[in-house]
Amino acid sequence: VPLLELDDVSFAYPDGTEVLRGVSLTVPAGSRVALVGPSGAGKSTVLALVEGFYPLSGGTIRWAGTDVRELPRAALRAQLGYVEQEAPVLAGTVRENLLLAAPHAADDELWAVLADVGLTGVVQRSPRGLDVPVGDEGVLLSGGERQRLAIARSLLARPALLLLDEPTASLDARNEGLLRETLAAAAADRALLVVAHRLSTVLDSDQIVVLDAGRVVARGTHGELVGTS
């Protein structure tokens, strides 16, 4: 039984905008699935539905085989690490941002997760270490670093499934490379469902699902999709 399964999911926003039509996909435990496609295809909406922001118009979402409508929403959310697009980093320090997700985490654990996302350099550059400020005037974190901090925060909660919405949207090539390494580290012991509009970000996914105008138009590994395997 896959960890997450979307079975023939259709969805229209409350204003009537029909966005998804018959979308099916599975995320097996421990796997990396990427959702790619043009802007407006419905990718972010898929993540919002998994998070339970809106009821489906049709179809079923299952978590470990159980229809999510039968699961307490809080119990499901506790298993999900949702990092929205332009993930907000809160005013305060790196430490405070991380402790939001894991109030009792020890410094060792905070440093370990910062290493996973490639942020230890930033913290070490400042004499304030984990207490380096992130949200104020004179912020020393770049856009890419803020994104990685948000991912670090969600990793600390040890979700079974990480849902990442366009984690590289605002990143340059160097930071995109760093983020790919972050995702590989994050995927070591959890499943990942990643939204991207650039295929380059998600080349090494176990499965790439291509969405266009609310429908799945292709799926496979990168090699299968470009016809080289």
Choice from 81, 118, 144, 167 touching ligand ADP (CB under 6 A): 144
**179-203 per-residue burial string, b: 16 or more CB within 10 A, e: under 16:** bbebbebbbeebbbbbbbeebebbe
What is the residue type of 19?
Answer: V
4 touches 196 (CB < 8 A): no
Site string for ligand ADP, 159-188 (x = CB under 6 A): -------------x--x-------------
Q: For residues 103 and 85, give the distance between their C-alpha atoms in angstroms, rounded to a whole number.
A: 24
Helix (H, G, I), strand (E, B) or coil at 52: coil
Q: Does 122 bind ligand ADP (CB under 6 A)?
A: yes
Choice from 44, 57, 120, 126 touching ligand ADP (CB under 6 A): 44
Q: Does 39 bind ligand ADP (CB under 6 A)?
A: yes
Choice from 33, 42, 98, 207 touching ligand ADP (CB under 6 A): 42
Choice from 71, 140, 199, 203 touching ligand ADP (CB under 6 A): 140
Q: For residues 93 and 87, give the distance between their C-alpha atoms in angstroms, rounded to a whole number.
A: 16
Q: Which is nearer to ligand ADP, 37 or 159 (CB)?
A: 37
Choice from 32, 145, 156, 164 touching ligand ADP (CB under 6 A): 145
**Crossing angle between the packed helical segments 173-186 and 107-116, to the nearest 10 degrees:** 120
Q: Of the ranges 41-49, 102-110, 111-119, 219-227, which one interacts with ligand ADP (CB under 6 A)?
A: 41-49
Q: For residues 7 and 196, give the distance between their C-alpha atoms in angstroms, rounded to a whole number.
A: 21
Residues binding ligand ADP (CB under 6 A): 13, 15, 17, 19, 37, 39-45, 122, 140-145, 172, 175
